[in-house]
């Protein structure tokens, strides 16, 4: 029987080797989700802006009014993007206030 050296390992002729297993960690981030407010015919500008200020973290009055105008003139606005659990909370809170919401979307 003949011997062959492969990577400092002795292999016998006719034997089968399997590749070495390496432990490798793959890190994946959780996807973000978009909270989207849709235009409708019954919510006032003031109500939409107040709801955004009340429920969306770090929302400023200027940003709330810009988003409210975007909802009105473009039909929708992404008002928050982030992790699913928080997105679900903000989506639910805005829905309970009567805002018309799009389903959550992956960002």
| Model pTM score | 0.75
Dump pLDDT digits (tens) for 52-93.
999 999 999 999 999 999 999 999 999 999 999 999 999 999
Predicted pLDDT at 19: 65
pLDDT in tens, 34-61: 999 999 999 999 999 999 999 999 999 9
**Rounded Cα–Cα distance for residues 55 and 37 (Å):** 13
CB neighbours of residue 86 within 10 Å: 15
pLDDT at 22 exceeding the cut of 80: no
All domains in the chain, ordered by first residue: 30-106 (3.30.1390.10)
């Amino acid at each position: 029987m003949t011997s062959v050296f492969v990577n400092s390992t002795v292999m016998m002729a006719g034997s089968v080797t399997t590749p070495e297993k390496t432990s490798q960690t793959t890190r994946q981030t959780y996807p973000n989700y978009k909270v989207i407010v849709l235009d409708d015919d019954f919510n006032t500008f003031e109500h939409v802006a107040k709801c955004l200020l009340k429920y969306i973290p770090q929302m400023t009055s200027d940003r709330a009014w810009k988003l409210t105008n975007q909802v009105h003139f473009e039909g929708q606005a992404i008002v928050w993007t982030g992790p699913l659990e928080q997105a679900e909370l903000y989506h639910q809170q805005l829905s309970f206030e009567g805002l018309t919401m799009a389903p959550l979307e992956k960002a």
